[in-house]
Amino acid sequence: MVVGVYQRVRLNSRQVAVLARIDAREHPVTARDSELAVTVYALRTRGLVTTPRTPDGWRAEITDAGQFYLTNGKMPDDRGHEPLADRLVRWLRDNGGTFQVEDPDEDTRDAYQTAVREAKHRGLVPSGWRLELAGRDHGQLTIRLRTDPQLPTSR
């Protein structure tokens, strides 16, 4: 899922190093680099990289926002970019209702918790549905969009 957070957060040193490696293109970061997967997913969550599919899995590619971060040390202005909450709910509706991140770093976990709260607060959850979050503190993070039998559904 490509979500593009565009938050005003600082990357940790590992995330910056991996982003710089992806930008340099000398040693591609791919699905074979399993030890970097969580870091790549955190960068992808922030919209700094994409992970297009290849025959062997995925390959990380830097985005304009990622290059902006490397140049400026901060996230790009978020005006004109779809917020994470909107993208998350749309992705859940279009892809079976469940999204999981295996043991995300603290920033990624926080970003998704914020997105779930924002989606609920802004009324992005469809009528008759509920948005659930599991794994708030550790382990796998799971977000589900499920029908709620106690809520009326629109017909």
DSSP codes of every residue in 32-50: T-GGGHHHHHHHHHTTSEE
pLDDT of residue 82: 56
Q: Where in the chain is the domain with CATH 1.10.10.10?
A: 13-72
Distance CA 84, CA 89 (A): 9
**6 pLDDT more than 80:** no
The per-type count for the chain, helices as H runs and strands as E runs, is 5, 7
For residue 137, the tally of other CB atoms under 10 A from its CB is 7
- The residue with greater pLDDT, 10 or 33, is 33
Just give the CATH number of 13-72.
Answer: 1.10.10.10
For residue 103, the tally of other CB atoms under 10 A from its CB is 14
**Per-residue model confidence as pLDDT tens digits over 62-121:** 998 899 899 988 877 654 445 788 889 988 998 899 999 988 888 888 889 988 998 998
pLDDT of residue 153: 52
**What's the pTM?**
0.49
* Cβ contact 145:97 at 8 Å: yes
**2 pLDDT more than 50:** no
**Per-residue model confidence as pLDDT tens digits over 116-154:** 998 998 899 988 899 999 998 889 999 999 997 775 555
Q: How far is CA 34 from the centre of its chain?
A: 18
Distance CA 49, CA 140 (A): 21
